[in-house]
Structures are given as C-alpha cells and as structure tokens.
A and B are shown apart, each in its own frame.
Chain A
Amino acid sequence: MLSRKPLLAALALVLFGGTAQAADEVVVYSSRIDELIKPVFDAYTAETGVKVKFITDKEAPLMQRIKAEGQNGVADLLLTVDAGNLWQAEQMGILQPIKSAVIDQNIPAQYRASSHDWTGLSLRARTIVYATDRVKPEELSTYEALADKHWEGRLCLRTAKKVYNQSLTATLIENHGPAKTEEIVKGWVDNLSTDVFSDDNAVLQAIAAGQCDVGVVNTYYFGRMHKADPKLPLKLFWPNQGDRGVHVNLSGIGLTKHAPHPEAAIKLVEWMTGEQAQKLFADLNQEFPANPKVKPSDEVAAWGEFKADSIPVEVAGKRQAEAIRLMDRAGWN
C-alpha cells in the first residue's frame, strides 16, 4: 500500500493543487449584481494590481454557502443589500469584526454594525413617490398617513416578500409598537388600488400610467427611471420631516469569519469607503455615498436635502421576522 502513496500524491496534486489561491486576490460573494460592482472592482485592480474574484446570487444562498464552507471557505467578503441581511449574517456567525481606523473615519457609526462585523457602503432612502398631475405635495405628510381614507384605491406597493418592505415595517414596529403598526399596515393594504407588484420599477410604471397615485419605492429605482426619461410625471416626497425622518437603508460589506486573505480584504474595504470608490460605487446605482465627504451624483443631488431617520439600521434585522408575520396577518402578500 505504502508504495502507492507517491502516485496518489501526484494524483492529488493534479486534482487538488490547482484550487490553491493566489495571495494577491480577494474573493467576494455579492448579492449586488455584476454591473453594479464590477466597475468598482476593476478600478481597484487597475490601481493596485490585486485581483477581485466574485460570484453573484441572492443573500440567503450566499450566506448559507459561507456557513457550509466553514473554515475551508473561499470567500473573504460578503457584499449585500439591506441591513436586515447583514444583521442576519452577523447572527449566523459567518462574519468577523473589521478593525480599521480608516473605515471608522470614513463611515458614520450609524451606518456600521456596533460589532464592527460589517460597514455600509451606500445609502438608499425608501420614500414616497407621487404622480405630479394627480397629487399635490401638500396632501402628503408621513408613511403612516398613507393609511388614511384619503388614499383609498390610490396606493401601489411592492410585495411584502421583499426585504426593503420588511425593513420599513420593522422600523415602524420599533417606533409605534406592533399593534399600532399592524393598524397602519392594514390601512395601506385597504388603500391598495391593485395587487402588490413584484418590483419597484413596476410600482413606478403603474403610478406613471395612472393605475394609482402614490407608492413607496427605493430612491435609486426612481433615479434610474428618471435618468432614462427626464419627462417622467413622478416626483419623490420626503415624509416624516416633522418627526423621525425618512427611512434609510444601506448596501454593505462584511469580512467572513474564515477569510483566506483577511489583510487584502480589509484593504479593499478601506479603499471602497474612500472618496474615489464611494463616488463610483454610489453613482453606478444613483445611491447616496455612505461617506459624508463624498457628494452624490447630480441626479441624486437634484432630489434635495432631507432629514433621515437616525434609528440604527440593525433594527431592520432584529425585527425582520416579527415584521413578516405582521405583514402576513395584515394581508400584505
């Protein structure tokens, strides 16, 4: 048996040797799609020579894969949208704290995990959008007010299965408690003009086409559509300016627990929070840079200043399951 060992070792080298990773590369699992991150990674490679390999999928499968791979994991970084997902990754124990003065300086604490397990990279507001020809901005005030009879048959919403709506509901629960929130959500459902849509673009199109008058969408969907069609008869409204402010969520990144190249990965994250990358990253998708020193794109700046809800974004994750159950009970499908 022993004499066979060299042969087997040679075979093993052929089979297993090829998968060993080079030192100057970083591996990212991303739920942000190819075209919204590749330009950023390409810029990093051009600047530093460090290669960035990535695959895209939905958050849950990516997180499960990191967990399953365990200490033999190949991913260094997990890039996701929505703080709820990042909070879940933290709970699953697949991330580790990033200790970096650069990141702490670049990104306000409100947009980072208190555990330092992840940091936000860009911000998006989930806000009210209205048809300019059928709604006067004075009619609008708060998210809660969309449950009033005034909006009966005039509201369009996206499905409750999307994490953005779950996070919005979670912050409502944090503010009003479950009973009041359920009342509000029921009011929204009663005011729907048609079945909920499968994406934000469809909500915007429905309002533009006159199927309904108001809706709730993420700002960048509006930004993209407005950029493609400047005559779009829609406008954004910033609600709750008299109290807690507009619901803001983020897209962020975390270092995996068993990252094979932690130093290289942290360098990449530091660079991504810096001014040049922030501009590129946020502008690709009409988002707000998480680094306050960086100015948003002209399209985004044109929407005007607003007061953002300062609630820690982690609340979205903590109350996500509760929010889903509440939305189910209220009939928001």
Chain B
Amino acid sequence: MSHAPQRRWYLPVGLTAALVILPLSVLVLSWHSIDMQIWSHLLDTQMRRLLGNTLTLVAGVGLGVTVLGVSLAWLTTLCEFPGRRWLDWALMLPFAIPAYVLAFVFVGLLDFAGPVQSALREVFGPMRLPRVRSTGGVIIVLVLVFYPYVYLLARSAFLAQGKGLMEAARVLGLTPLQAFWRVALPMARPAIGAGVALALMETLADFGAVAVFNFDTFTTAIYKTWYGFFSLSSAAQLASLLLLFVMLVLYAERRARGAGRTGNERARVQPLYRLRGVKALAASSWCVLVFACAFVIPLLQLLAWFWQRGRHDLDERYLGLVTHTVSLGLGAAVITVSVALVLAFARRQAPTSAIRSGVALANLGYALPGSVLAVSLMLAFSYLDNQLVIPLSQWLGGAGKPLLLGSLWALLLAYLVRFMAVAYGPLESTLARIRPSLPEASRSLGVGGVKLLRRVYLPLLLPGTLSAALLVFVDVIKEMPATLLMRPFGWDTLAVRVFEMTSEGEWARASLPALTLVAVGLVPVIGLIRRSARSLGQGH
C-alpha cells in the first residue's frame, strides 16, 4: 500500500498518462477489423524491402550518430586544439535545422541537376558520380541532423566525469585512447545510450526527410496505406507495430544503461590533452568538416535560394507566421515542461510501480510518427467533443459547439503528448543530481512545502528546466503534421509554409520559411550554449 503523501501524485500522473492513452487506444482499437487485401499485398510485395530499408537506416544512423557524437564530444571536452573553443558550441547549432530542411537542401545541392554536379559537368564533361538519393545519402543526412542529441548528452557526461578520474587514469599509465575506452566511455554509456535512443526514435518517426529521398521505410508505408489506400485502420495497425518496435529499442536502452551513475566531482575547466601537429590538425579538420556539412553549407544554400527566389515572397505576413510559430513554441514549452516537472517529482517522491508505469507511458508519444499521433489525437478529441463536450455545453445552455478540436488547447495538448519525453529527460537527470539529503536537511531546518520548492528546488532545477524548455521550443516550431491538422483557423506557422512550398516541389522558395525557422530556432540553441558555457565557467 502506498502512503498518503505518495497517493497525491497519482492524479496528475494518471491524467497525463490518460492523455497519451487516448491516441494509443485509437491505435489498439484499429485492430478490430483487418483488411486482408491490403495486408496480404503488403506482406507479399512490400514488407521485406520496407523492413530491410528500415533496419539498414536504424543501424546506419545509430552507428553514425554514435561515432560523430562521441568523437566530437570527446575532442571538444578533453582535448585542446585550434578552434576548440568555438567548435565546442558551434557543433550544437545543427539542432536548429529540421531534418526535412537538410534533406531538401542536400538533394537540391548535390543531385544530378543541382549546382555542384552541373558545375562539375561544365568543367570536366559528362561523368558518373555516386547516387545522391540513395541509402547512404539518407543515412548521412539523418546522422548530420540527429548527432547533436548524442553530442550534447555525451559532452555533459564527459564534463561531469571530472578531472580526478582522468588524471588517475593517466597516472596509472593509460594512454589517452585507453583512458577513453576503459574509463570515460563506459562511464558515459548511459548518456550516450539516451542520446542514441532519441536519435533512433526520431529516425523511425521521420517522414519528411525520407520522403525527399523517396526512401521507403516502415513509416512511409504507414502514410501510403492511409493516403493511397485510404485505409486509416490499416495505417494505424502498421503504426502500432512500429510502436512495439520502438518500445523494444527503449527497453534495450534501459537494460544497456544498467546502473551507471554520473560522477559528482568538480567539473574540469582545463582540457586534459593538448594536441599538437598532425593530431591537432586532424581534430580541427574533423570538427570543422562536421560543422560545415551539418550547418554552414546548408545555411549558405538556403541563403542562395533565398536570394534567387525566396526574397520575392517576403511580405508582412511573415511577421504573423513568426509570431504564431513563437507563441506556439513558448506556450507548448511552458505547459510541457510544467507537466514534465510534476512527473519527474512524482517519480522521485513516489517511485511506486504504478507511478513508474504512468511516467513511462506519458513519455511514449515521442516515438510515434507525427502524423499518426496527430490523427489519433484528432480522432480522440473529436470523439470527446461529440460525446462529452457538446452534450455538456448544450445542457448548460452553451452554444453546443466543439471545444477541443480546432482550438489552441487541442494543439498544445498534442505538442505535450508528442514532446513530453524531450522535456522529461533533462528534468529527470537534473532532479537526480539533487541528493535526497538536501531537502531533508532543509526540512529539519524548518523549510518545507512551497518554501522548500522555491528556495531549494527551483534554483537547483532552473538550468535543467531551461534546457528542457528550449528543446521543446525548438522541436515544436519544427513540428509539421500535428500543426497542419490541428491548428486553429489563421494560425499558419513557418513549418506550415515550408510544407506548402515543398509539397509543390518549390524547394528554392521554401528557403524563406526554412531560413526563418532556422533563425527562430537558433535563438534558443544559442541560449542553451551560453548557459552551458556559463555554468562551466563557474566550475559548477
């Protein structure tokens, strides 16, 4: 039996979990009838290729983000080489670039008809180059987009390992490489695993980028079943299978994480290894190469397109688009982070199995392809509207109009369901770093309740809360399917405009909304960087 103070967490956790159960139950209910014609067609002609493509993509992106994220984090936190200071933060900037934007920039720039190959043909005559729209191409794009998850988490893990440990390894005669393999990497494994898991969930849910490459995955099959066969139930069945697969990935990540703990030493301010000569050159070039490919080159291409075509579309309506985008991002960030904070506290104060499952459930929304989540929520909301809200409002003498669907609230709730995991992760780990002895000591000194929250928890939680809010903000402004389906009239955002342009294949003109989106997204990313630089400067 749980104690009374624990029980008060049940209501908020239960409500949040229920919000996620809404779309999930739509998926489960879809199984009540099975369209054999569609399924036998999928199994006979499509499934083998789709699964093969999906697994290749997952393996490739998983390997890629690990190698990129870990190597870059190791170099920028433990070594000193020319350019390290600015590369340390610059390597986080690609966070602001949506996957679908990098995909269309990459294809537009490098495909046969693009400027690079055209120029090469101009100079060298006809030539055969590797195919751009290929498995390798799509993996490279997704790795460049998603590596910052691993980089960010591995970087803070390496920083938290403190100087004592690495110096001990050095004193014991380990070379830098040995110290990396035998000390730093095993200790950072939970953080790296969490980053890879986020990257893989994004990969499995991605539709925008793979659609540009016309690379068929399990997710594209979900869309095709819905948009082509118009069988939403078969699409939902496929989506629930995808969700099972994602849960497997998450479970594996939890298992692999083991009982890893972050050290609680003083953070290092000075780098440990000073690289010289060829090594320093190699380190600089590797970091610059990644930064150039993931950020500088795409940005330059967007600017070039903007100059050619996009600038002619710039009008006062962009002010409205930016306002809508920012308002939705801020609103969703505040709501999502507040709820995530409650969940994280619940998990800490009342770690019963019910609370733990409730919290785990509340985090599942991130794993669903955006459009599937959006339509499931839309169906659930309209069901509630029709069965509950409208009869109730009529009984009360109201207008008897739907309240949820088409309202700002429905959209913000959709963001909450989708991005809970993004906010919860950083908050949970920040909270875990506050030792239980601290609030206990405060209580013994007579500081409790609201005062305890205000004077002890909030100051300690502020950094984690801010980064959670920033991550949610950036994700929300990039979000497309739920925004398209559930936005209130007149609430067009930058992502909506990108969708409209790319759906017509007008990539050059999509540069204007895409560039604006990146600019809006960069503000919080830079904020994140400044904050992490400052906390480092203070030496924790």
Contacts and interface: CB of A to CB of B under 8 A. Distances in A.
Interface of A: 5, 8-9, 11-13, 15-17, 19-21, 27, 33-35, 53-61, 64-65, 68-70, 72, 74, 88, 91-92, 159, 161, 163, 166, 194-202, 205-206, 208-211, 221, 320-321, 324-325, 328-329, 333
Interface in B518-536: none
Given A16-B399, A70-B386, A196-B214, A56 B496 contact: yes
A300 B474 CA distance: 43
Contacts of A205: 113
Interface string B104-142: 000000011100011001000000000101100000000
Contacts of A60: 226-227, 230, 232
Nearest to B225: A324
Contacts of B400: 16, 72
Contact of B484 (A61, A72, A92): A61
B227 A201 contact: no
Contact of B492 (A8, A34, A159, A211): A34
A47 B406 CA distance: 28
B214 to A, nearest CB: 5
Interface of B: 37, 41, 45-46, 111-113, 117-118, 121, 131, 133-134, 211-214, 216, 220, 223-224, 226-230, 232, 371, 374-375, 378-379, 382-383, 385-386, 389-390, 392-393, 396-403, 405-407, 481, 484-485, 487, 489-490, 492, 496-497, 500-501, 503-507
A13 B398 contact: yes
B219 to A, nearest CB: 12
B113 A211 contact: yes
Contacts, number: 164
B398 A65 contact: no
A198 B401 contact: no
A72 B402 contact: yes
Nearest to B500: A33
Contacts of B375: 61, 64
Contact of A33 (B227, B396, B490, B503): B503
Q: Which 8 A-B pairs have the closest CB atoms?
A: A199-B505, A201-B505, A16-B398, A209-B113, A12-B398, A68-B382, A12-B396, A33-B500
Given A19-B402, A68-B378, A69-B386, 4 more contacts: A58-B503, A61-B484, A68-B383, A211-B113
Contact of B113 (A88, A163, A198, A206): A206
A8 B395 CA distance: 10
A15 to B, nearest CB: 7
A64 B232 contact: yes
Nearest to A57: B484
B229 to A, nearest CB: 5
A58 B489 contact: no
A209 B112 contact: yes
A72 B397 contact: no
B41 A328 contact: yes
Nearest to B220: A161
Nearest to A88: B230
Contacts of B133: 194-195
Contacts of B379: 64, 68
A56 B212 CA distance: 20
Nearest to A18: B399
A86 to B, nearest CB: 12
A321 B399 CA distance: 41
A17 B505 contact: no
Given A53-B489, A72-B385, A198-B212, A64 B229 contact: no
22 contacts: A9-B397, A12-B392, A12-B398, A16-B399, A16-B400, A60-B230, A61-B481, A61-B484, A64-B379, A65-B485, A68-B379, A69-B402, A72-B401, A161-B224, A163-B228, A194-B131, A195-B131, A206-B112, A209-B112, A211-B112, A320-B230, A333-B216
